[in-house]
Amino acid sequence: MTVPAIGRIIPIARTSSVWILAVARLQLAWRAFLFVSNCPINLDDRRGLVTQNLHHHTFDNGLTLLAEPMRGVESAAFTILMPAGAIYDPQDRFGLAGFTCEMTLRGCGSRDARKFIDDLETLGVEHGEGVSDSHTSFGGATLAENIPAALEIFADLVRRPHLPEDKIEPSRQVMFQELRGIEDDPAQKAMQELKRRHLPSPFGKPASGDVESVTKIQIDDVRKFYENSYRPNGCLIGFAGRIDWDETLKLVEKLFGDWQPGPERSVVSQSRIGGYANLPYDSNQTQVSLAYPSVPYAHEDYYRASASVGVLSSGMSARLFTEVREKRGLCYSVYASYHSLKKTGSVFCYAGTSADRAQETLDVTIQELERLSEGIEDDELDRLKARVRSALVMQQESTSARTAAIVRDWYFLNRIRSLEEIESRLEALTRDDINDYVAKHPAQDFTVVTLGPSPLEVNLGVSASEA
Amino acid sequence: MEFRQAKLDNGLEIVAECNPDARVTALGFFVKTGSRDETPELAGVSHFLEHMAFKGTAKRSAEQVNREFDAMGAENNAFTSKETTAYWASVLPDYTEPTVDILADIMRPALRSEDFETEKQVIIEEIKMYEDQPPFGADEKCEELHFGQHPLAYNVLGSVNSIQQLRVEQMREYFENRYSPNNITLVAAGQVDFDRLVEMTDARCGNWSPFETSRHVVTPPRHPGFHRLQKETSAQQYTVQLSDAPGAENEERFAADLVSTILGDSSGSRLYWKLIDSGEAEHAGLYFVEYQGGGIFWTMLSCDPEKATDNLRLLRSTYEEAEQDGLTEIEHAQAKSKTKARLVLAGERSRRRLFAVGSHWIARETYFNVRQELDQVDAVTLDDINHVLRKYPLTQATTVTIGPVAFNEPE
């Protein structure tokens, strides 16, 4: 393939993110690494938006179909969110969700592994698979006329995978390669450990598992996990692009309508680990990462919480970029991002810096997070609203972005928010609203993870002037 | 979709793909300068200068630059490659004029000494960040070995040492030598009122004085060979290979792109089936990069160190087989449909069109719309592909491997 042309995002199957960075860097270096949050606030701008056509239907078996037909595009994209995330891994089989996802790619329906990939290639489907805490997701995008055929293939994948015993060892090797790759990627390793310590178990466990667990996984484990977790109830399928709702509904009904639901399951959250840990690591830079609690996506305070993270990290005039990088030159990459589970929200922050400046970087970052509770300025809110407004218009140029957005809304809210609703919620936000929120929810109760040659001190409650 | 072009009296070009249906305007100044226009003493100056453009101008402080972009809700960034430095922003169409105003302003940066020293630290952090990431400098080493004294050997970031040594006066001089209006193109895509764009650009850039700039373009020599670097702490073994490929001005580049897709795409390619599906390697990919005067094929392989020798053998035999027997009609058809779908998907975003239009223009002063780009892919025959494989043999490569194990080039 061509080196990722500037700014191109490649859906990645079986390729770790660090390789995408390395390959992209063969061509160029960016001014800034811009973190794209998973859960942006969506905001309408009436000048830039056409009226949306949003559809949803829940079948008797519990599967929900979501769709946004879009005008002015040739492509369409789909997302299948399967309730088969890493939280369902058995205690001694960490990585089983990821292992099972890997195995589903090795033949399904009438196709062996080779034919499966070949047919997708012929249809020009850009596809990617991934495992998160709650879901295994399968996504694809291609020319709109090829979408029905692509969906038939993915229907086979989720409903009729072969899960062949003779592919257990190659799949295990793929898992081992991924685990080794993470060892060489300090930023990912730090963020993975931060998530593991910050979120209540079984959330936050790495989907890649660990060597001991992956070594033990056998074909029966995979088949059992598949039987228990790949199911229509809790499954969301989203489409966006040049599609027709009635035809899509018929197609999905035909492919998934007779799928029998699985029994109810429950996941019990444990308490979280929290605190501070340094992972000794031989590197030039120390990775500094920290997290603190926020409200979840469905919470009435979500817009205020998300806006407060935007003040920290949305755009190059935001506080963290300005204070940590622009004024002090402490790092190249620094960001904060909002993250949500169904019941808990979090803010994750990251900075990578030379070992000898890591303490200052951590101190300044914590001071900025704590200073947020003192309130924000009007112009900060104005800039944030402008950024969100235009980000939403730009999202409408991407069928993949839209399908992700509608599926995310449904998962968290059980409905798709109209753009008008989002706009009015956002526009209504005042500085006082946000100041009230940040005063009541100051950044505190931090989980901190560093990765580097020596541990740091976590200095809380030191104002910038005292430091 | 309409293509428009204009040139100011001082030589600054303006090109645009105007799409009346677009809801977004993407704008960028593309400067024909990059690391290949540096000397060893100036290593990294192009990229450092790109950072400095955001540190303020005669009219604006650094903070003002960032705030004004954010206040418009602009998605903006900049990048530097071996051949191009670009400064871009995507905005809602109403913000076109203020966006041109800031972008034009930062193209005449203040380059203040104290900002230079602060930003130097950021650049050094960026270099150190990459040094901690795979392939741990093996890619840079491979370029040095492959290109030898040729300026394509220089890497975009420079080194910690070259950046530490660099003085602000040297950067100012580099700026004076490279940022002539006749070496710069303003590129636009999406919703564009072209006549207005030319007017507003002329009002802001028309007084920039032109001067001579040139780029030394010679076809780079190559120095095939096998080199091993030791890194005890690395979990994986990383191997990179560089070999010759068609250059930016060569029509063979379309076939070269399909060669890389068929042999080394992240899904469904020959390397995918031999190395990835089997779990033998974490990553195995072939990438085509075009430069003026000569392009390159990159091969990237990461795997369990114990499997490195076997995998290198497998890689070699895959390439030998392809060179000797050629690729197949089925592979050709699949690669075409995949490439075309990617072009259509990318073509729906104004920002991606900005990069596509800009990079074509900088490299060749040509424009193609998405339909024409699809036709170009369609026009490539299997013979063209097999011809490129024979003319630019992947088996004659410069190889650098880095990781914990010691081994020689496999037989």
The CA distance from A132 to A344, in Å, is 15
Sequence-distant (6+) residues with CB within 8 A of B253 are B245, B246, B247, B288, B290, B295
The answer to whether B149 and B40 have CB atoms below 8 angstroms apart is no
Can you give the CATH number for the domain in which A442 is found? 3.30.830.10
pLDDT at residue A395 in the model: 83
**Residues B178, B262 within the same domain:** no
**Which A positions 402-461 lie with beta carbon below 8 A of chain B?**
none
- B105-133 pLDDT, tens digit per residue, is 999 999 999 999 999 999 999 999 989 98
Indicate whether B177 belongs to any domain: yes
What percent of chain B is predicted at pLDDT more than 90?
93
- Tell me the residue range of the domain where A251 lies: 55-256
The counts of H helices and E strands in chain A are 16, 12
**Which A positions 257-316 lie with beta carbon below 8 A of chain B?**
282-285, 314-316
Look at A192-201, A330-339, A446-455, B212-221 and tell me which has the smallest mean pLDDT.
B212-221
Among B392, B34, B130, smallest CA distance to B242 is for: B392
The CA distance from B8 to B212, in Å, is 16
Evaluate if residue A295 carries a pLDDT over 50.
yes
The answer to whether B305 and B405 have CB atoms below 8 angstroms apart is yes
**Residues B35, B108 within the same domain:** yes
Distance from CA of B101 to the nearest CA of A (A): 18
**Residues B27, B67 within the same domain:** yes
Indicate whether A268 belongs to any domain: no
**Residues B159, B190 within the same domain:** yes
Interchain CB distance below 8 Å, B346 and A285: no
- A138-155 pLDDT, tens digit per residue, is 999 999 999 999 999 999
**Residues A198, A311 within the same domain:** no
Distance from CA of A323 to the nearest CA of B (A): 11
**Residues B112, B7 within the same domain:** yes
pLDDT at residue A36 in the model: 45
Indicate whether A304 belongs to any domain: yes
Interchain CB distance below 8 Å, A396 and B298: no
Interval A224-241 mean pLDDT: 97
The answer to whether B313 and B410 have CB atoms below 8 angstroms apart is yes
**Residues B130, B255 within the same domain:** no
Interval A223-252 mean pLDDT: 97
- B3-41 pLDDT, tens digit per residue, is 999 999 999 999 999 999 899 999 999 999 999 999 999
pLDDT at residue A34 in the model: 56
pTM for the model: 0.93
The answer to whether A450 and A289 have CB atoms below 8 angstroms apart is yes
Interchain CB distance below 8 Å, A316 and B70: yes
Can you read off the two tokens belonging to residue A429?
């936000």
**Residues A287, A245 within the same domain:** no
- B161-170 pLDDT, tens digit per residue, is 999 999 999 9
Helix ranges (H only) for B252-400 are 253-264, 270-271, 308-325, 329-347, 350-364, 370-379, 382-391
- Tell me the residue range of the domain where B26 lies: 2-205
Interval B293-302 mean pLDDT: 94
pLDDT at residue A37 in the model: 39
Sequence-distant (6+) residues with CB within 8 A of A456 are A278, A286, A288, A358, A359, A362, A450
- A56-98 pLDDT, tens digit per residue, is 999 999 999 999 999 889 999 999 999 999 999 999 999 999 9
Compute the mean pLDDT over every residue in chain A, rounded to the nearest whole number. Answer: 89
Strand-pair partners of A2 = B288
**Residues A106, A227 within the same domain:** yes
Strand pairing report for B13-18 and B184-190:
parallel
Q: Which of B345, B352, B368 to mutate to test the interface with A (most CBs of A within 10 A)?
A: B345
Peptide bond into A202 cis (omega under 30): yes
Evaluate if residue A382 carries a pLDDT over 90.
yes
Strand pairing report for B13-18 and B25-31:
unpaired
Can you read off the two tokens belonging to residue A416?
């798709």
**Residues A336, A409 within the same domain:** yes
- Of B148, B173, B205, the position where a domain reaches its end is B205
Interval A281-302 mean pLDDT: 96
Indicate whether A370 belongs to any domain: yes
- Of B170, B205, B240, the position where a domain reaches its end is B205
Residues in chain A: 467
**Residues A360, A232 within the same domain:** no
The CA distance from A106 to A11, in Å, is 19
Indicate whether B218 belongs to any domain: no
Sequence-distant (6+) residues with CB within 8 A of A260 are A61, A232
**Residues A248, A316 within the same domain:** no
**Residues B88, B197 within the same domain:** yes
Evaluate if residue A39 carries a pLDDT over 60.
no
Q: Give the residue from chain B lying closest to A177, CA to CA.
A: B282
Indicate whether A105 belongs to any domain: yes
pLDDT at residue B298 in the model: 94
Task: Tell me whether residue B249 is exposed, middle or buried, using C-beta atoms within 10 angstroms of its C-beta: 0 to 12, 13 to 18, 19 or more.
Answer: middle
**Residues B189, B243 within the same domain:** no
Interval A20-49 mean pLDDT: 49
**Residues B201, B248 within the same domain:** no
Distance from CA of A261 to the nearest CA of B (A): 31
The CA distance from B133 to B138, in Å, is 11
Look at A291-305, A378-392, A431-445, B308-322 and tell me which has the smallest mean pLDDT.
A378-392
**Residues B174, B321 within the same domain:** no
Interval B59-63 mean pLDDT: 96
pLDDT at residue A426 in the model: 85
The CA distance from B7 to B363, in Å, is 17
The CA distance from A44 to A192, in Å, is 34
**Residues A236, A286 within the same domain:** no
Compute the mean pLDDT over every residue in chain B, rounded to the nearest whole number. Answer: 95
Can you give the CATH number for the domain in which B395 is found? 3.30.830.10
- B210-228 pLDDT, tens digit per residue, is 999 999 888 888 788 999 9
The CA distance from A361 to B89, in Å, is 29
Using a CB-CB cut-off of 8 Å, the residues of chain B touching A386 are: 70-73
The CA distance from B324 to B258, in Å, is 17
The CA distance from B404 to A37, in Å, is 36
What is the number of domains present in chain A? 2
pLDDT at residue A33 in the model: 63
Indicate whether A30 belongs to any domain: no
Using a CB-CB cut-off of 8 Å, the residues of chain B touching A325 are: 122
pLDDT at residue A16 in the model: 44
- Of B205, B239, B265, the position where a domain reaches its end is B205
Can you read off the two tokens belonging to residue B67?
């705030």
**Residues A302, A192 within the same domain:** no
**Residues B136, B241 within the same domain:** no
Interchain CB distance below 8 Å, B70 and A1: no
Residues in chain B: 411
**Residues A433, A385 within the same domain:** yes
Using a CB-CB cut-off of 8 Å, the residues of chain B touching A315 are: 66, 69-70
Indicate whether A175 belongs to any domain: yes
Indicate whether B217 belongs to any domain: no
Give the number of other Cβ atoms within 10 Å of residue A47's Cβ: 11
Q: Which of B29, B69, B70 to mutate to test the interface with A (most CBs of A within 10 A)?
A: B70
Q: Give the residue from chain A lying closest to B272, CA to CA.
A: A14
Indicate whether A49 belongs to any domain: no
Distance of CA B196 to the CA centre of its chain: 30
User: In this complex, which of B236, B289, B355 lies closest to A184 when CB atoms are compared?
Assistant: B236
Interchain CB distance below 8 Å, A399 and B80: no
Using a CB-CB cut-off of 8 Å, the residues of chain A touching B269 are: 1
Strand pairing report for B184-190 and B25-31:
antiparallel
Interchain CB distance below 8 Å, B121 and A186: no
- Neighbour-count burial for A279-308, b at 16+ CB within 10 Å, e otherwise: eebebbbbbbbbbbbbbbbebebbbbbbbb
Handedness of CA A446, A85, A102, A125 (dihedral sign): negative
Give the number of other Cβ atoms within 10 Å of residue A365's Cβ: 27
**Residues A305, A206 within the same domain:** no
**Residues A86, A196 within the same domain:** yes
What is the number of domains present in chain B? 2
Using a CB-CB cut-off of 8 Å, the residues of chain B touching A72 are: 21
Q: Give the residue from chain A lying closest to B354, CA to CA.
A: A6
Interchain CB distance below 8 Å, B236 and A282: no
pLDDT at residue A10 in the model: 29
Interval A99-121 mean pLDDT: 96
Evaluate if residue B336 carries a pLDDT over 90.
yes
**Residues A118, A239 within the same domain:** yes
Give the number of other Cβ atoms within 10 Å of residue A60's Cβ: 9
> Is the CB of residue A352 less than 8 Å away from at least one CB of chain B?
yes
**Residues B189, B307 within the same domain:** no
The answer to whether A352 and A287 have CB atoms below 8 angstroms apart is yes
